[in-house]
């Protein structure tokens, strides 16, 4: 109950308008999921008739596998087909990086891959599009670069604007203190994939690019840094006609900036910390005016406190409305270990397991002042990279958070809970907390489906059919979708 109450302080069900009478569970059949191979699990292209589960396999070595898996399910959660696509130019000499995936409207998903080979001395950035109308993949080469050797092959990055209008491809060539970093920048249209602009950017000696983001107006924004750990960061903004240095005016370092628009103007949100502190010691969050070149606000915030060696930060949603900015984020960090892939039979060697396991909501006004911050204190399965901290939907202007609760005689029975942030207003004040908690609308035994863990990010609502879609992962390597029919928000 203590674990439940920690989360319930943040989100409650008191204002739910869910009609819960005659809710019926409808379980699909279990299917195999290879947790040691498959990564980036997501539900995509969901409608009243079908949904797809996409995963990526990118394993190098003697048992190399590189490709995309799209599983298609019907409205009864029955697996009807599986479609696979190898990464392009697959040879025994090619290495790969997966650069991300994005839904293109309601019918397509695009994947970006980076293939490079010491034999050809080439780095090739491809796009792979899956079209649900045809259930087919198409592959195209976007850009190609040459390099000297694998050890000097550089780094490729793909970033997307928040409005989906642009994709930015950046190839940062090998550099060090004696060789200036050169970044080949290509911006393409998010609909046609035609080139919008292209430019080569050269940083001064001993300056290097950090995280990159793309604005809704088609500009690339680099964090500009130096080698010294105590040196502050600045920004470098690049578009088709200009390159502009922007000093932050503060002795800080930035991490994972996200570009947003307020009206027609570009702004930047970024976690940051004092330049003298070690990496990833988040202490503040800023709102930066890219056009005016100044920090509007940089409030202190307790972000992911106590978590060491954060690997990544992901923004689940950035929503601007009613003179406020809602930012949902979670961080990726080591949550366990698994037998080493290099030494699978030696208990002395283990590989780390990284999971997205700590979530929070930050509410800011249009000047960047933090009005509310909420941590999502949730039990995350140890050593399980499949399950995120929370799932999130905006239904009819209200946020619903999908997480789990624990009950039963021994406190180890898991069941899904949907919490509504209450009320959906400027202050997010919590009202009318009811005890005991939780009062889940879905509280019931799972019968033959007992065990397993709900996959929080697998969360969809189909208003036309009053159906909520959820899923479970089982330790024996199975996944199973379930419908909750008869749910009305």
Q: What is the pLDDT of residues 147-158, one digit of tens each?
A: 999 999 999 999
- Read off the DSSP letter of residue 2: H
- Mean pLDDT across 190-215: 95
Q: Does residue 439 surpass a pLDDT of 50?
A: no
More confident residue, 431 or 230: 230
What distance in Å separates the CA atoms of residue 224 and residue 215, rounded to the nearest whole number?
A: 17
The pLDDT of residue 12 is 39
More confident residue, 159 or 330: 159
Q: Are strands 391-395 and 370-376 parallel, antiparallel or unpaired?
A: unpaired
94 three-class SS = strand
More confident residue, 109 or 337: 109
What is the chain's mean pLDDT, rounded? 84
- From residue 114, alpha-carbon distances to 157, 190, 192, 227, 249 in Å are 9, 18, 20, 26, 36
The contacts of residue 201 (CB under 8 Å, 6+ apart) are 182, 183, 185, 222, 236, 238, 243
Percent over 70 (pLDDT), the chain:
83
What distance in Å separates the CA atoms of residue 346 and residue 388, rounded to the nearest whole number?
A: 29
3-state SS, 160-171, equals ECCCCCEEEEEE
Q: Does residue 424 surpass a pLDDT of 50?
A: no
The pLDDT of residue 353 is 82
Q: Does residue 378 surpass a pLDDT of 80?
A: no
Q: Do 168 and 214 contact (CB within 8 A), yes or no?
A: yes
Q: Does residue 426 surpass a pLDDT of 60?
A: no
Which range is least confidently modeled, 39-53, 256-270, 372-386?
372-386
Q: Do 365 and 323 contact (CB within 8 A), yes or no?
A: yes
More confident residue, 450 or 133: 133
The pLDDT of residue 374 is 82
- Mean pLDDT across 283-287: 93
Q: Does residue 420 surpass a pLDDT of 80?
A: no
Q: Does residue 194 surpass a pLDDT of 90?
A: yes
The pLDDT of residue 443 is 45
The pLDDT of residue 380 is 64
Residue 326: pLDDT band (50, 70, 90) is: very high
152 three-class SS = helix
pLDDT digit string (tens) for 50-78? 999 999 999 988 788 999 999 999 999 99
The pLDDT of residue 5 is 33
The pLDDT of residue 485 is 87
141 three-class SS = strand
More confident residue, 116 or 383: 116
pLDDT digit string (tens) for 316-325? 899 998 889 9
Segment (H or E) for 131: strand 122-131
The pLDDT of residue 11 is 41
Q: Does residue 429 surpass a pLDDT of 60?
A: no
The pLDDT of residue 40 is 92
């Amino acid at each position: 109950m203590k674990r439940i109450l920690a989360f319930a302080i943040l989100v409650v069900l008191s204002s739910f308008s869910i009609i819960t009478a005659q809710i019926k569970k409808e379980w699909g059949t279990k299917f195999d999921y290879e947790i040691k191979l498959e990564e980036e699990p997501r539900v995509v292209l969901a409608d009243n008739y079908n949904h797809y589960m996409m995963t990526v396999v990118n394993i190098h070595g003697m048992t190399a596998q590189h490709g995309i898996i799209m599983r298609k399910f019907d409205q009864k959660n029955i697996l009807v087909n599986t479609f696979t696509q190898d990464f392009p130019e697959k040879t025994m000499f090619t290495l790969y990086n997966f650069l991300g995936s994005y839904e293109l409207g309601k019918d397509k998903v695009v994947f970006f891959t980076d293939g490079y080979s010491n034999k050809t001395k080439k780095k090739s950035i491809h796009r792979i599009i899956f079209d649900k109308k045809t259930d087919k993949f198409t592959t195209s080469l976007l850009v190609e670069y040459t390099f000297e050797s694998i050890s000097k092959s550089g780094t490729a990055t793909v970033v997307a604007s928040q409005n989906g209008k642009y994709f930015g491809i950046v190839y940062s060539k090998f550099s060090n203190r004696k060789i200036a970093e050169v970044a080949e920048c290509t911006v393409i249209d998010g609909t046609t994939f035609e080139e919008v602009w292209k430019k080569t950017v050269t940083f001064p000696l001993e300056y290097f690019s950090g995280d990159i983001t793309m604005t809704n107006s088609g500009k690339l924004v680099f964090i500009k840094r130096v080698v010294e750990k105590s040196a502050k960061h600045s920004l470098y903004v690049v578009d088709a006609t200009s390159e502009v240095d922007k000093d932050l005016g503060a002795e800080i370092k930035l991490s994972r900036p996200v570009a947003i628009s307020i009206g027609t103007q570009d702004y930047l949100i970024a976690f940051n910390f004092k330049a003298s502190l070690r990496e990833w010691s988040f202490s503040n969050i800023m709102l930066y005016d890219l056009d005016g070149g100044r920090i509007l606000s940089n409030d202190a915030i307790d972000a992911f406190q106590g978590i060491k060696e954060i690997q990544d930060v992901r923004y689940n949603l950035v929503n601007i409305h009613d003179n406020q900015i809602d930012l949902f984020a979670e961080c990726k960090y080591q949550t366990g270990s698994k037998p080493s892939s290099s030494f699978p039979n030696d208990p002395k060697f283990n590989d780390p397991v990284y999971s997205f396991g700590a979530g929070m909501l930050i509410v800011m006004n249009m000047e960047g002042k933090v009005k509310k911050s909420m941590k999502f204190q949730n039990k995350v399965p140890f050593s399980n990279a499949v399950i995120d901290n929370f799932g999130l939907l905006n239904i009819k202007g209200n946020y619903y958070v999908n997480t789990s609760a624990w009950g039963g005689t021994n406190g180890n029975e898991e069941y899904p809970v949907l919490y509504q942030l209450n009320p959906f207003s400027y202050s997010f004040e919590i009202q009318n907390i009811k005890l005991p908690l939780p009062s889940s609308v879905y509280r019931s035994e799972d019968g033959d489906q007992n065990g397993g863990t709900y996959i929080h990010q697998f969360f969809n609502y189909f208003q036309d059919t009053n159906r909520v879609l959820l899923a479970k992962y089982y330790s024996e390597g199975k996944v199973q979708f379930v419908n909750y029919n008869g749910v009305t928000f």
